[in-house]
Amino acid sequence: MAPLVAVVSSPRARLFACFLRLGTQQAGPLQLHTGACCTAKNHYEVLVLGGGAGGITMATRMKRRVGAENVAIVEPSERHFYQPIWTLVGAGAKELSLSVRSTLSVIPSRVQWIQDRVAELNPDENCIRTDSGKEISYRYLIIALGIQLDYEKIKGLPEGFAYPKIGSNYSVKTVEKTWKALQDFKEGNALFTFPNTPVKCAGAPQKIMYLSEAYFRKTGKRPKANIIFNTALGTIFGVKKYADALQEIIRERDVSVNYKHNLIEVRPDKQEAVFEILDKPGETHVIPYEMLHVTPPMSAPDVLKRSPVADSAGWVDVDKETLQHKKYPNVFGIGDCTNLPTSKTAAAVAAQSGILDRTMCLIMKNQRPIKKYDGYTSCPLVTGYNRVILAEFDYTAQPLETFPFDQSKERITMYLMKADMMPFLYWNMMLRWVCRGHWVVWGWAV
């Protein structure tokens, strides 16, 4: 049989095949670098705000551009999470422990870790201030602060998570509650929500719905389960090709979908969820539940909303092709905290990091950026315990697929990529950026 690399045609697919071969090999012990322990300076050539996927990846790249001693990361958390796997944790298919490493272990070697929270950005003075009062100046600033979960905007939350039968795959504190609620389900409504705000990975709220339906079938509870997906949106997915495929799955599995329904209150003592009907102002809909999965409203971090780098909605205001700030030429953004008009996923971060690296390289040489980001993002839509539809698309919501087959079809191979290969590649390749040249890794999403 010919090797996979020999039979696929596109450069992206050939590169993926190489990763697949690597990812399926026995993984050895992690050899991630540790950050420097030297005393933090007050000025850095490149200052990175945020130690998530975008921040760590860009710190690794910038270390190679300007030297480790000239790069610092501001990040308060001692733990770094691979959040895409939480979909499977909430469905009992993976352990939560697989999603976490120490922050120290993923920071590039000799890059300074400033374990503090960003309190204020002052781009006019090329400096930031931390919660501890420390002022740090920079020549170039990369903002990678992620997205903020606003559970408190739903009446009854987050305190409602203390009750049984409620979970959320979007927080490390609540993802295992989803699995507990799924196991404890007996009969009634299994209710899944999608808010009226931007979210990370727009496919994630329905992934747990499909997995729950599969679990109910597996355990013989499906005849007693009424599965309901209440979404504030007007469509099941933003790309028609994949939306059509999902609609067929919804029809086949007898799932009820209510559009323009936005969760505004949870009454955990009564096991009721209250929704506002967005196209009928003033009207609400109360639904009892036996299980409730909440996708919270989300927004830009508060520190960005009150900063000069934000647009009117609070997101970092960057050029959608170069990721350079529209007003401050030495400020850049990556990932969920930006106003890039594409789905907020780790796959998007992987694609953006290559563009941003080239943008900054040219700007450091006083040249104009020429590499353009096309909005590439990916969402592996998990539709069962061994099935995934691999959605890939661009700014225009047009499919931008990797493989020479129809990716709107459910496939076991794509599930294996999501569940097993991508975590390995994330920890061992994306964060460390061990490959030279241009490549993008697919399928990183919640």
Rounded-to-10 torsion of CA 234, 252, 243, 16: 140
Identify the three-state secondary structure at position 367: coil
In the set 37, 38, 127, 201, the catalytic residue is: 201
Residues 6 or more apart whose Cβ sits within 8 Å of residue 216? 185, 190, 222, 225, 227
β-strand pairing of 112-114 with 135-143: unpaired
138 touches 71 (CB < 8 A): no
Token pair for 169: 């795959």
Residue 76: count of CB within 10 angstroms of its CB: 14
Distance CA 92, CA 98 (A): 12
* Dist CA 382 CA 340 (whole Å): 25
Q: Pseudo-torsion of CA 214, 216, 220, 224, nearest 10°? A: -130
**SS3 at position 70:** helix
Q: Which residues of 336-354 are buried (b: 16+ CB within 10 A; e: fewer)?
A: bbbbbebbbbbbbbbbbbb
- What phi and psi, each to the nearest 5 degrees, are found at residue 130? -100, 170
DSSP-derived letter for residue 40 is: P
Beta strand pairing status for 298-299 and 188-194? Answer: unpaired
Q: Report the largest interatomic distance among the alpha carbons of the chain, rounded to a whole angstrom.
A: 65
The beta-carbon contacts of 248-257 under 8 Å, at least 24 apart in sequence, are 249/210, 249/383, 249/410, 253/210, 253/213, 253/227, 254/227, 255/209, 255/213, 255/227, 255/228, 255/229, 256/226, 256/227, 256/228, 256/229, 257/228, 257/229, 257/230, 257/231
Confirm if 80 and 51 have CB atoms less than 8 A apart: yes
201 part of the active site: yes
Q: What is the 3-state secondary structure (H, E, C) of 153-220?
A: HCECCCHHHHCCCEECCCCCCCHHHHHHHHHHCCCEEEEEEECCCCCECCCHHHHHHHHHHHHHHHCC
**Pair 329, 323: CB distance under 8 Å:** no
- Any idea which residues carry the catalytic annotation? 201, 379
